[in-house]
A and B are shown apart, each in its own frame.
Chain A
Amino acid sequence: MVKLDFIPHDQKTIQQMLDVIGLKSIQDLFHDIPKDLILEKLDLGAGISESDLFNELNEISKKNKIYNSSFLGAGCYYHYIPSLVDFIISRSEFYTSYTPYQAEASQGFLQAIYEYQTIITKLTKMDVANASMYDGSTALAEAALMATRITRKNKILMIEGIHPEYVEVVKTYCWGQNINYEIIELESLDSKLDEEYAAIIIQSPNFFGDIEDLKVIVNAVKNKYPKCLVIQVMTDPTCLGILSPPGELDIDIFVAEGQPFGISPSFGGPGLGILATKKEYLRKIPGRLVGKTKELNGEKEGFILTLQAREQHIRREKASSNICTNQALCSLAALIYLLCMGRTGLKDLAYQNIQKANYTKKKLLNIPGYKILNNKPTYNEFLLSCPDLDSLIKNCEELNLLPPLKISKYFTHMINVALVCITEMNSRKSIDLFLQAAKNSTSEEK
């Protein structure tokens, strides 16, 4: 038996415990596992000292390429994170705490989640937000399921322009729940929509950067089929600093990726699934909900997990979702981020994103061979048709700029098209470098 230094029992105590339960050795506890599956030896090698380990890891980390600036978005965005965010989330009470099942011992985090829910409702002007889902993609899938529960219909209509990976996640959830879906062009909405659909899903700003005219679209849907729900999804909710909030557009369920709110892009995760809806759908919402309440025998206020009868541990197979968690630390980061920014700060940030993106667009149009493919207004992303995208990417890499997305990764027929993302983090200097990279990759060398 492997000797484990971190287990406090000595051999004598272990033997006593084995005697009580009537076994001879610890191995007897695992006798149900087939012999050929039992691990005999873990070939980890001899241990090394802390300083040697540090040096080894340091060498490995040097393989990382550190870019000076990013032109990549497509669902994960590089925005400024105020230092207050990390300072607060690093407090061990938040960083290491577990799920707040025991309200009397978790008031701190329950209050934080409650405040996160509140700030999301203020930002989106929706009636209620939950404690969060894993990320934008699963939040969207859960919203689709929620719509089928509310309407008792099991068909979903997706409008083209949703992040391709989000579409795949929705498809997986639909498959698991026997829900049918169709993906159509926005132009076909009027002809394809019928009373069989539980909801339509539309992303705005969409994957290609277009800002859709949601007021017109929602009206068109609700005038014909008032019972059909409209789900809006977005991947960079910093745009809410400027764009009309879903609550003002009669959106039924709003979902978003909350990573842009104070969470580092890291390696593509963790994310934060924002989900908000109308008051009338409150009991159909998946995930955790924190509520504010009063003591039974007094006046003191407190926070609790509420409406738990929707959840698995009570409703079991009829639960609104199999999720029994939330992205607590990430939601706290988002809360602190939004509190730091404030209403005017977020508006200012959104303006910077738009203005810098527009500056980049204008300058790109002056370079022969480049075309902007968007016909609608855009936020901080746009489609750029290039004379030689591979060359542009190579030039970016050489200048230490994280290149934009090659759209053919998802849409194989769109050759030489890039999805460019410009945020407040792109300085004038870095944009000019990008323009230089673009100039240098035209067929007409300067």
Chain B
Amino acid sequence: MDYKFPKELKYTETHEWVLLEDEVATVGITDYAQHQLGDIVYVEMPEIGMIFERESIAGEIESVKAVGEIIMPLSGEIMKTNSKIIDNPELVNSSPFEEGWIMKIKISHKDEIENLISVEEYIKVVESEEA
């Protein structure tokens, strides 16, 4: 199965992608993750202003057959959430890295960026899950 793995992004082992821009990280779920979940019907996003620690659960993604958790890749404050996916959750399926972005975080602990994995490491994670 051919999944997209954009090279300029960082990843987590829990299938989130991260776009780093100075103090702000944009977060979403990967092409592999959306494929595993199936047709997404609802995204429960955190409220703006809420502060979460890295690896805590910020929200949930509901598909017709399962519920997946959105896990914070880094600690920080929620600055923005993607209002488009409230009415059009299917964007997370069709465009997981672009139109289907989920939230923007103000990074509080820059050293946590070291915990993110590279695209090559993430491809290995997917390959071992598929095996």
A residues adjacent to B (C-beta < 8 A): 283, 309, 314-315, 318
Q: Do the beta carbons of A314 and B44 come within 8 Å of each other?
A: no
Q: Do the beta carbons of B66 and A314 come within 8 Å of each other?
A: yes
Q: Do the beta carbons of A283 and B42 come within 8 Å of each other?
A: yes
Given A309-B41, A309-B65; 10 other pairs, CB 8 A cutoff: A283-B42, A283-B44, A309-B42, A309-B62, A309-B67, A314-B65, A314-B66, A314-B67, A315-B67, A318-B67
Query: For residue B62, which residues in chain A have a CB less than 8 angstroms away from its CB?
Result: 283, 309
Kindly state the separation between the CA atoms of A318 and B63 in the bound complex, as whole angstroms. 15
Kindly state the separation between the CA atoms of A309 and B66 in the bound complex, as whole angstroms. 6
B residues adjacent to A (C-beta < 8 A): 41-42, 44, 62-67
Query: For residue A315, which residues in chain B have a CB less than 8 angstroms away from its CB?
Result: 67
Query: For residue A318, which residues in chain B have a CB less than 8 angstroms away from its CB?
Result: 67
Kindly state the separation between the CA atoms of A177 and B62 in the bound complex, as whole angstroms. 24
Query: For residue B65, which residues in chain A have a CB less than 8 angstroms away from its CB?
Result: 309, 314
Kindly state the separation between the CA atoms of A233 and B66 in the bound complex, as whole angstroms. 33
16 contacts between A and B (CB under 8 A): A283-B42, A283-B44, A283-B62, A309-B41, A309-B42, A309-B62, A309-B63, A309-B64, A309-B65, A309-B66, A309-B67, A314-B65, A314-B66, A314-B67, A315-B67, A318-B67
Greatest chain A CB density within 10 A among B41, B42, B62 is at B62
Kindly state the separation between the CA atoms of A43 and B64 in the bound complex, as whole angstroms. 52
Kindly state the separation between the CA atoms of A318 and B68 in the bound complex, as whole angstroms. 11
Query: For residue B66, which residues in chain A have a CB less than 8 angstroms away from its CB?
Result: 309, 314
Query: For residue A309, which residues in chain B have a CB less than 8 angstroms away from its CB?
Result: 41-42, 62-67
Kindly state the separation between the CA atoms of A314 and B66 in the bound complex, as whole angstroms. 6
Query: For residue A283, which residues in chain B have a CB less than 8 angstroms away from its CB?
Result: 42, 44, 62
Query: For residue B41, which residues in chain A have a CB less than 8 angstroms away from its CB?
Result: 309
Q: How far is the CB of A281 from chain B (nearest CB, A)?
A: 12
Kindly state the separation between the CA atoms of A45 and B42 in the bound complex, as whole angstroms. 60
Q: Which residue of chain B has the shortest Cβ distance to A318 in the bound complex?
A: B67
Kindly state the separation between the CA atoms of A143 and B107 in the bound complex, as whole angstroms. 37
Q: Which residue of chain A has the shortest Cβ distance to B69 in the bound complex?
A: A318
Greatest chain B CB density within 10 A among A283, A309, A315 is at A309
Kindly state the separation between the CA atoms of A318 and B60 in the bound complex, as whole angstroms. 11
Q: Which residue of chain A has the shortest Cβ distance to B50 in the bound complex?
A: A152
Q: Which residue of chain A has the shortest Cβ distance to B42 in the bound complex?
A: A283
Kindly state the separation between the CA atoms of A75 and B67 in the bound complex, as whole angstroms. 38
Kindly state the separation between the CA atoms of A315 and B44 in the bound complex, as whole angstroms. 14
Kindly state the separation between the CA atoms of A194 and B101 in the bound complex, as whole angstroms. 36
Kindly state the separation between the CA atoms of A429 and B65 in the bound complex, as whole angstroms. 60
Q: How far is the CB of B10 from chain A (nearest CB, A)?
A: 28
Q: How far is the CB of A308 from chain B (nearest CB, A)?
A: 9
Q: How far is the CB of B71 from chain A (nearest CB, A)?
A: 14
Query: For residue A314, which residues in chain B have a CB less than 8 angstroms away from its CB?
Result: 65-67
Kindly state the separation between the CA atoms of A84 and B63 in the bound complex, as whole angstroms. 41
Q: How far is the CB of A280 from chain B (nearest CB, A)?
A: 12
Q: How far is the CB of A444 from chain B (nearest CB, A)?
A: 67
Q: Which residue of chain B has the shortest Cβ distance to A282 in the bound complex?
A: B42
Kindly state the separation between the CA atoms of A309 and B61 in the bound complex, as whole angstroms. 10
Can you list the 5 inter-chain pairs with the closest CB atoms, starting with the nearest? A309-B62, A309-B67, A315-B67, A314-B67, A314-B66
Kindly state the separation between the CA atoms of A315 and B61 in the bound complex, as whole angstroms. 11
Query: For residue B42, which residues in chain A have a CB less than 8 angstroms away from its CB?
Result: 283, 309
Q: Which residue of chain A has the shortest Cβ distance to B57 in the bound complex?
A: A318
Kindly state the separation between the CA atoms of A283 and B86 in the bound complex, as whole angstroms. 13
Query: For residue B64, which residues in chain A have a CB less than 8 angstroms away from its CB?
Result: 309
Q: Which residue of chain A has the shortest Cβ distance to B64 in the bound complex?
A: A309
Kindly state the separation between the CA atoms of A17 and B3 in the bound complex, as whole angstroms. 49
Query: For residue B63, which residues in chain A have a CB less than 8 angstroms away from its CB?
Result: 309
Q: Which residue of chain A has the shortest Cβ distance to B41 in the bound complex?
A: A309
Q: How far is the CB of A446 from chain B (nearest CB, A)?
A: 69
Q: How far is the CB of B30 from chain A (nearest CB, A)?
A: 20
Kindly state the separation between the CA atoms of A318 and B57 in the bound complex, as whole angstroms. 12
Kindly state the separation between the CA atoms of A265 and B25 in the bound complex, as whole angstroms. 60
Kindly state the separation between the CA atoms of A318 and B59 in the bound complex, as whole angstroms. 13
Kindly state the separation between the CA atoms of A382 and B123 in the bound complex, as whole angstroms. 71
Kindly state the separation between the CA atoms of A315 and B42 in the bound complex, as whole angstroms. 14
Q: Which residue of chain A has the shortest Cβ distance to B62 in the bound complex?
A: A309
